[in-house]
A and B are shown apart, each in its own frame.
Chain A
Amino acid sequence: MNLVSAYHDVDDIEAAVELCFEQGWTDGLPVVPPTQKAVERIIRYLGRDPQDVVGAIPPSNGVATIEKIAINCVMAGCRPEYVPFVIAAVEAMLEERFNLNGVQTTTHGCAPLVMISGPKVKELGFLTREGAFGHGCRARATIGRAVRLILWNIGGGYPSDPCKTTHGHPGYYSFCIAEDQESNPWAPMHVEAGFDARDTVVTVTAVEAPHSIGTGAGSRPAQDVLYVIASDIASLGSAAVSGGDMVLVLGPMAARNLADAGLSIPQVRRELMRMATRPVREVKRRESIAESHPWHWKKTVDPDNDDARVPFLRHEEDLVILVSGGWGSPAGFCSLCPGWGAPGGFTVRRKVGFPV
């Protein structure tokens, strides 16, 4: 196989790991040295020409060839069968509506969250219960990690110059979650979005770190559960005051509570949209985008009426909902990942293409 990337010869594994740090090929965590054997193993699994181009990754517009993606996937620790998820995520992020250049360089703290649903979740052993966002699952950890290394090495997404996120968040190292279909009382998220149940689909939205919400789903009625979630959505500092997407991960207990109350996913969205508001008198105390801007909250309500309610969810489709996580205590924990607001990072979905 003819790899065209430059290479370095080193004496041993320690030197290889150190070289990756010295070359700036990693963002602080050690990486698996991308050897020829490991890179070729992935490319052979994919059955694609190493020089096939997936796209140019902003802000540096490095060309993401299959070879470069494979190298970064090796560094992240991916097994070959994880790589199609990474490619689907890259394709999704390159959709114009995602505004990857903005996501990579904004002062806001949003990172692409990779959400996976479909039959391959179980087949490939994604953990979807306790620690749904966290530790303990190679598939999630390395797919999220590969996406970050691609944004780093191919996209040039380095902090300070040119990436201006003031704080970032731990998801900038790896940010991936999978849907737990067994505890989901509704249709899978990709089926609800119009895909076939047999498909495995990657959904990408640029969001903040997950905020834990104790909904009380173990003892409270559905309307109280929704009220608590809506209160978190309508957080005064949220970028959602200018619109945009966000992700709600319902724990199995909260999902069961809402489904048992007869609510469908669209009804949950509608209820949250109705409830997730704040009065003008509160919202006007925070700085926002320019008032002349078409997305300014003053365009949504009468700004002179202090009692008018400003919406933090402008459209039903702005809220991505999936079910994942452990059953837990009666607190009925859920996680909310607010988005970047109106500038972008909008949800994009891609069916994962596996080699035949």
Chain B
Amino acid sequence: MTIRIYDPVGIPEVIHAREKPKFKSLHGLKVGYVFNQHTSAQIFWKALEEEVTERLAPTAVHRLYKTNTWASAPKVDMDKLMADTDFALVGVGA
């Protein structure tokens, strides 16, 4: 006798991402930072920002400091950051 058993694994939700702009260089663009404020990444993050400033000379800098290190940034804040910048760096930390 054959037993038929069904697959319990969920099919991932399809999220349609907006088209990504392609840059030949990141120099002189508007940069965004999404920092989770985790204690283990604070020194690294400061150094990263200094390096980006020195090498890429961004024309504008926007910082989004998450109030909850362990949760996604609010969509409204991310949408604003994306509207205000050309590209963003996202820190996962820990």
State the A residues within 8 Å of B (CB): 3, 5-13, 15-16, 19-20, 23, 25, 33-36, 39, 56-57, 60-65, 68, 71-72, 75, 99, 101-102, 106-107, 149, 153-156, 287-294, 342-344
Contact = CB atoms under 8 A, between A and B. Distances in A.
A293 B37 contact: yes
Contact of B12 (A10, A63, A287): A63
B37 A8 contact: no
Contact of A101 (B1, B9, B37, B72): B72
A320 B50 CA distance: 45
B6 A34 contact: yes
Interface string B1-40: 1111111111111010000000000000000000001110
B59 interface: no
Nearest to B10: A62
Given A62-B10, A107-B94, A8 B5 contact: yes
Interface residues of B, number: 25
Contacts of B15: 61
Contacts of A23: 7
B68 A36 contact: no
Contacts of B72: 101
Interface of B: 1-13, 15, 37-39, 42, 67-72, 94
Given A68-B10, A153-B9, A289 B4 contact: no
Contacts of A64: 10
B70 A343 contact: yes
Contact of A290 (B2, B7, B39, B68): B39
A343 B11 contact: no
Contacts of B70: 99, 102, 106, 343-344
Given A60-B10, A60-B12, A7 B5 contact: yes
B2 A71 contact: no
A102 B72 CA distance: 9
A34 B12 contact: no
Contacts of A5: 6-8
A289 B1 CA distance: 58
11 contacts: A15-B3, A16-B3, A19-B5, A36-B4, A61-B12, A72-B8, A99-B71, A101-B72, A153-B10, A290-B37, A344-B71
